[in-house]
Amino acid sequence: MKDALDRKFSLQRISSGDYVFLSNDESIIWRVAIYTEDGSAVTSSGREIRGSRWGLWKFTGRDMERINTNEWNDFEMWDAMFRTRNEAIMAALRDA
């Protein structure tokens, strides 16, 4: 029996550090990409957050057949600050 968090669909690479994948129920296109925190975000203790993190975006466009991965306006930021790509993917699978 498959675990509920097993991914049914593979990642499709858009570019280095930028991927899309379909939710297991095929209802959501997720985008996971690496970005750089510049210190403007802080921890609860006030420490600046700097360096590479992985973010998770959800496709909000109307036509899943005509997705334009160059157009970020069709993606809504869903979650961020993941240290690894896998952490971001697991969050998407839980939230789907």
User: pLDDT tens, 12-63?
Assistant: 999 999 999 988 888 889 999 999 999 999 989 999 999 999 999 999 877 7
Q: If you write DSSP's letter for every residue of 24-93 in order, what string do you get? A: TTSS-EEEEEEEEEEEEEE-TTSPEEEEEEEEEEEE--S-GGG--TT-GGGEEEEEEEESSHHHHHHHHH
Q: Measuring CA to CA, how many Å separate 58 from each of 3, 15, 39, 51, 93?
A: 23, 17, 25, 23, 12
Could you identify the residue written with the tokens 């939710």?
23
Domain positions in the chain are 12-95
Task: Provide the pLDDT confidence category of residue 96 given band limits of 50, 70 and 90.
Answer: low
Does the structure show a pLDDT above 80 at 4? no
pLDDT tens-digit profile of 71-91? 788 899 999 999 999 999 999
